[in-house]
Amino acid sequence: QHFRSTAPALAVVGLVCGLTAIEPDMGTALLLGLVSTVVLLAGGVPLRHLVMVGAPAVAILGLFALRKLAYVGNRIAAFLDG
């Protein structure tokens, strides 16, 4: 019911995180997303709204990172190989 009032804040967070990820600076994008999520939760945004927007956003960001940013995939593979 309050999604219409939280949509602008979620859009701004998504835009900033998306532009930062394109930079490519995945660490900063993830940190911005995490801090923004905590601030939105502290501000009273229902967790349900954040999950509705956040789950697809995280999946899209992850696919983007693995497909377009080869160095991120290489770093993850190196970490998993030990």
Residue 48, pLDDT score: 86
Give the model confidence (pLDDT) of 48-73 as tens digits. 888 888 888 888 877 877 777 777 77
The C-alpha angle 32, 28, 26, rounded to 5 degrees, equals 115
Q: Which amino acid appears at position 19 of this protein?
A: L
If you average pLDDT over residues 27-40, what whole number do you get? 88
pLDDT at 42: 93
User: Between 23 and 66, whose confidence is greater?
Assistant: 23
pTM, rounded to two decimals: 0.67
Q: What is the structure's pLDDT at 1?
A: 55
R_g (Cα) of the chain, nearest Å: 14
